[in-house]
Amino acid sequence: EPETVRQEAVMQTIYVPAGQRAELTLSDSTKVWLNAKTTLTFPSHFEGGNRSVTLDGEGYFNVTHNKNKPFIVKTEQYDIKVLGTEFNVHAYKGNPIFETSLLKGSVQIESANHRDNLLLEPNKKAYTDHGQLKTSPITQYNYFLWKEGLICFDDNTIGDLFKKLQLYFDVNIIIQNTRILNQRYSGKFRTSDGVEHVLKTLQLRTKFKYEKKDDKESTIIIK
């Protein structure tokens, strides 16, 4: 019998630019959706006792169940260990916000220094608050529609909304009219409709003007 040649696992990296999304299937059939400005590093196939990937940004994972080989998502602050599950991770490097939302299954979250360790139940999310890991129920399920190209705001502040627009549309928003930032807004938009569609819809409810500059940062000034 000819010997089967074992292929070395090769590390691969995918980067999703601002304003885009990507969907991929890993070698174990795990499905991953990646949001804007996100980098995922993963092996061409999983070797050894676990399945480990590294995430910088936001990803939604539907992990193939394999109790003998835990699936680990490494992020800057925490590692998320799972057996088979559906969950969303928001963990951009250099950004203090870390959030993991569990939709099905169970995940364990462990900080890089192994000081924090938390087992998350379905329909709960774990997030950092002043460096501490806390949990609360998931209330905004529409949020996860980002993987289908929908941006959903559910009683979010306009300040938060502008932050999301910067990420999803790769624009630089300068806010001169700060009076509107704490007003709240709910609504759904298709990413493909573009940032100006969102701003024009927002203007129907909130009083502001905007000016679009033609510079390399695609600056938008909110007046």
Topology alike, domains 11-141 and 153-222: no
Residues 15-25: what's their mean pLDDT? 92
Architecture of domain 153-222: 3-Layer(bab) Sandwich (3.55)
Residue range 144-183, pLDDT digits in tens = 999 999 999 988 899 989 988 988 888 899 999 888 888 9
pLDDT of 2 higher than 60: no
**Rounded Cα gap, residues 178 and 3, in angstroms:** 69
Whole-prediction pTM = 0.85
Instruction: List the domain boundaries for the chain.
Output: 11-141, 153-222
Q: In what order do the strands lie in the sheet with 210-212?
A: 172-175, 219-222, 210-212
**Rounded Cα gap, residues 86 and 68, in angstroms:** 18
CB burial readout 46-72, b (16+ within 10 A) else e:
beeeebbbbbbbbbbbbbbebeebbbb
pLDDT of 196 higher than 70: yes
Residue range 35-84, pLDDT digits in tens = 999 999 999 999 888 899 999 999 999 999 988 899 999 999 999 999 77
The domain 11-141: what is its CATH number?
2.60.120.1440
Query: Rounded to 5 degrees, what angle do the CA atoms 111, 112, 118 make?
Result: 15
**Mean pLDDT across the chain, nearest whole number?**
90
